[in-house]
Amino acid sequence: MKHDEGKAIREIRINPIVPSESVLVATARSMRPKKAEEPAPRDTRSHVANCPFCRGNESMTPPEIT
């Protein structure tokens, strides 16, 4: 398809595995500006009293399955 003013460039592709299916691909999508994602805040505490996975709290975990 041609690029028109204000319209995105699109391309129709046929699925080579299932030829009866076609897919509309937005080829101009890669030209959009990318926003940098901020990393998720991390829990930097070295020990949490009620966490069974923290060192020293092994007694809080359930018994081993045998």
The pLDDT of 40-58, averaged and rounded, is 88
Residue 2's pLDDT band, with cuts at 50, 70 and 90, is very low
Reduce the DSSP state of residue 26 to 3 states and report it: strand
The predicted pLDDT at position 7 comes to 61
Alpha-carbon torsion, ordered 40, 46, 52, 58, to 10 deg: 150
User: Is 0.85 surpassed by the pTM of this model?
Assistant: no
Ranges of H-type helices in the chain: none
| Per-residue pLDDT tens digits for 25-36 | 877 777 777 777
Is the Cβ–Cβ distance between 10 and 30 less than 8 Å? no
Taking alpha carbons only, the member of 46, 47, 42 closest to residue 57 is 47
Is the Cβ–Cβ distance between 24 and 10 less than 8 Å? yes
- Provide the mean pLDDT of the chain: 80
The structural domains of the chain, with segments of one domain joined by +, span 1-30
